[in-house]
Each structure stands twice: as C-alpha cells, then as structure tokens.
Amino acid sequence: MEDLKELDKLYIANTYSRFPVEIKYGEGSIISDEEGKQYIDMGGGIAVNIFGMQDKAWKNAVISQLNKFQHTSNLYYTEPCVTLAKLLIEKTGMKKVFFSNSGAEANECAIKAIRKYAQDKKGPDYYTIITLKNSFHGRTLATLAATGQEDYHKDFLPLTEGFISVTPGDINELESTVKNNKCAGILIETIQGEGGVVPLDPNYIQQVYSLAQEKDLVFAIDEVQTGNGRTGKLYSYMHYSIKPDIFTTAKGLGGGLPIGATVLGEKVEFVLSAGKHGSTFGGNPVCAAGAVSIISRINDKLLSDVMQKSEIVFETLSQAPGIKSVTGKGLMIGIETEKEVDKVVNECIEKGVLVLKAKNKVRLVPPLNIGVSELKKALNIILEVCTAI
C-alpha cells in the first residue's frame, strides 16, 4: 500500500486526494481492501455501480459481448447500442439517443443540441443557456461554464461563453434573465448532487418548465447523477409533471463501464444531423451491453425497494443526535452533521463504511440493491460517528 501510494503520487497527475484505502475486491455492496478489511459501500463508485460490485447479470452481459467483439466504430451498425436506445426511448417516451462516454460529454451534446435548435429557429444570436448557481455539469470547458460555481472556473478562464447562472428557486430572476438575454435553453439538475444533495423546490421546477415552454426554450435536465433509478424513479424528472426536451445521463447507466447518453425529445429530435456530432467510443458495444442489463432491470419492484430503503435512511437519520438535516430522494442522500464533514467521512471509513462528501454534507449513493441489513449496519455506524466526540 505504501509503495502504491508513492507510485501513484509519482506517476499520476495529482488531481485527486484519495482516501487511504486500496480497493482489492468487491461483491455486491461489500468491498475489501489490501489487508482484507471489509467495508460497506455507501458510495457505489459515485452513484455508478447500480447493482454493486461484480453483479452477475451485468457481468454475463459484458462478457458475452466481449466474446463477440469489443469495439468497431460508429461507421457500422451494432446491436447493443440500438437495443439500449430502444429501451431508453420506450421507458421514457423520448425520441432519440446520442451515446458518448461520460456525463460531461452527454452535457456537451445537450449544449450543442440546444444551441443548434435556437440558432435554426430564432437566429445566431440566440445562444445563451441558463443554468443554476451551485450546479455541476462537468469538467470540460463548456460544461464548466455551465457549472454555476466560480470555484471550479478560476484558473481556467476564459471559459466557453454564453452561459448565465441564476439563483435556484428564484423564478423572478429567471424570468428577467430570459427577458434580457437572447436565450436558447435552460439546463438544471432536479437535485444538485455535487452541490451538496440540494433538491430544487418542486414548484420551481414546474415554473421553470412552464417558462421554457412559453418562451420556446429548450428545457434540459442533467440526470447524470439522479438518473437510472437513483431517486426512486427511472429518471428524477418523472417525480414531477414535466417532460424535458433533453435529458442527459451517465454514471449509473453503464453499471461501472463508461457510457453517457443524451436523450432527445420531439423538439430537438432532428436537430443534430449527419456530421454534426460524433464520438469514437460512443455507444461502445461492451458498455452498451452492460447498460442494457442495468436499464432492463430498473423496474417497479426495484424502484419501490429503493423508496423503502430511502425511508429507512430518513427514519434512522432525521432528527438523530449529531445530525442537522437529511436531504435528497431515493438512495441519493445528503447528511448535514454537527461534526466537521471530513472528520465524519474519515471516521466512517475507519469503522468500515465508505461514504462520500458533497460540499458540507456526507453523501450516500449506495448500490440500489444494497441489502437492508447492510444498509442498517452502515447507518448505525454513521450515527455512532456523528455522536462520538
């Protein structure tokens, strides 16, 4: 482990401050480190491992595709990405899918589709996209510009222009921003994940949707973290009576392999024509086969299990000593603790629970199929840590 740490530091760009754990093995929601110590995984590889480590059905789907071929290119037809697209469209009522490899790329495609729609329809000046303060949309220069947090911007200026971020919950600010700028669309998360698991007010979401419809703005939802069953619906927008023109997803979609999707509704279905966008790896057959296995199993039974486990989390943690607030939906949970968050996270890891951080919150995004007894055990350890001095 010490050797690995040294070599990592020597050879890998120092962009990550890692926890002092080397992951060696995992099964379901249990992970072992280099010394054989076991942990309950409440982070799921940052909301990625929907069915945990080494999920059998997912592994079979991936291996079976690997036994045929691993990659070709988007110059040829392949079956897994078509099957995946059909599944996504049938389950959402959207129209078309563009596949990429990450959340940031899925959002890049959404940004291009929003701009192209507005420029085709309203003219070249209509390129401004409104996003929210405290949002997170990725690390590329355009998605950084979309990200409404200056901390992420500084050192990398100038960013792609044409983004304005407004205060979440303030519909007047949004209305005046739309009025005073030549706007193309609006991009939001329903729950600001990296921003600290902060849910938007459902009323506000409704108002944003209505305004977008009224002004013919492309309404896009970033479901990179909230998607794929995470909040107790297949996609989080399904909790509200709204229909986005575009939603993007990644993280959990591939169950652990890199894949992103930009899912287009009627309004923008034909906006990106041949040659307007592309990706070498996008829709890779191995990743897509894995994703088919994931998406086809996110059914009503699984989603109701997610909601039941969510209730257990809220019942156990809300109003418990040492805990100030619990936010989120489904199995995307933010916990505000009295104790300093880094301390809580490190002590949880010491006691065998891998939790994440988001801003000043402890964040839980475990595998959706985590066992109830594992979940309860992890929650008790979190409680213990939060109350111990």
* Structure token pair of residue 315: 């019942």
Taking the complex as a whole, the smallest distance from the CB of residue 198 to ligand PLP amounts, in Å, to 12
Q: Which residues bind ligand PLP (CB under 6 A)?
A: 102-104, 107, 136-138, 189, 193-194, 222, 224-225, 250-251
What are the φ/ψ torsions at residue 163 (nearest 5 degrees)? -125, 140
Taking the complex as a whole, the smallest distance from the CB of residue 315 to ligand PLP amounts, in Å, to 26
Taking the complex as a whole, the smallest distance from the CB of residue 103 to ligand PLP amounts, in Å, to 2
When the beta carbons of 187 and 323 are compared against ligand PLP, the nearer one is 187
Residue nearest to ligand PLP (CB): 103
What are the φ/ψ torsions at residue 97 (nearest 5 degrees)? -125, 135
Taking the complex as a whole, the smallest distance from the CB of residue 191 to ligand PLP amounts, in Å, to 9
Q: No. of H helices and E strands in the chain?
A: 13, 17
Taking the complex as a whole, the smallest distance from the CB of residue 182 to ligand PLP amounts, in Å, to 25
Taking the complex as a whole, the smallest distance from the CB of residue 250 to ligand PLP amounts, in Å, to 5
Rounded to an integer, what distance in angstroms lies between the CA atom of residue 30 and that of residue 37?
A: 10
When the beta carbons of 259 and 268 are compared against ligand PLP, the nearer one is 259
Rounded to an integer, what distance in angstroms lies between the CA atom of residue 224 and that of residue 254?
A: 11
The set of long-range contacts for 380-383, using a CB threshold of 8 Å and a minimum separation of 24, is 380/316, 381/40, 381/348, 381/351, 381/352, 381/353, 382/317, 382/335, 382/344, 382/348, 382/353, 382/355, 383/316, 383/317, 383/320, 383/321, 383/322, 383/323
When the beta carbons of 31 and 224 are compared against ligand PLP, the nearer one is 224
DSSP conformational letter for 307 = H
- Nearest one of 342, 318, 335, 330 to 367, comparing CA atoms: 330
Mapped onto helix, strand or coil, the DSSP state of residue 199 is strand
When the beta carbons of 205 and 379 are compared against ligand PLP, the nearer one is 205
Rounded to an integer, what distance in angstroms lies between the CA atom of residue 240 and that of residue 384?
A: 36
Taking the complex as a whole, the smallest distance from the CB of residue 101 to ligand PLP amounts, in Å, to 8
Taking the complex as a whole, the smallest distance from the CB of residue 78 to ligand PLP amounts, in Å, to 22
Alpha helix (H) ranges present in the chain?
2-11, 44-47, 56-66, 79-92, 103-121, 141-146, 150-153, 171-180, 202-214, 285-295, 300-317, 341-350, 372-387
When the beta carbons of 234 and 386 are compared against ligand PLP, the nearer one is 234
When the beta carbons of 99 and 136 are compared against ligand PLP, the nearer one is 136
Taking the complex as a whole, the smallest distance from the CB of residue 252 to ligand PLP amounts, in Å, to 10
Mapped onto helix, strand or coil, the DSSP state of residue 161 is coil
CA angle 253, 156, 5 (to 5 degrees): 65
Q: Are 87 and 290 in contact (CB under 8 A)?
A: no
When the beta carbons of 131 and 316 are compared against ligand PLP, the nearer one is 131
Letter string b/e over residues 233-270, b meaning 16 or more CB atoms within 10 A of that residue's CB: bbbbbbbbebbbbbbbbbbbbbbbbbbbbbbbbebbee
When the beta carbons of 103 and 283 are compared against ligand PLP, the nearer one is 103
Q: Are strands 198-199 and 23-27 parallel, antiparallel or unpaired?
A: unpaired
When the beta carbons of 103 and 328 are compared against ligand PLP, the nearer one is 103
When the beta carbons of 126 and 247 are compared against ligand PLP, the nearer one is 247
Taking the complex as a whole, the smallest distance from the CB of residue 129 to ligand PLP amounts, in Å, to 14
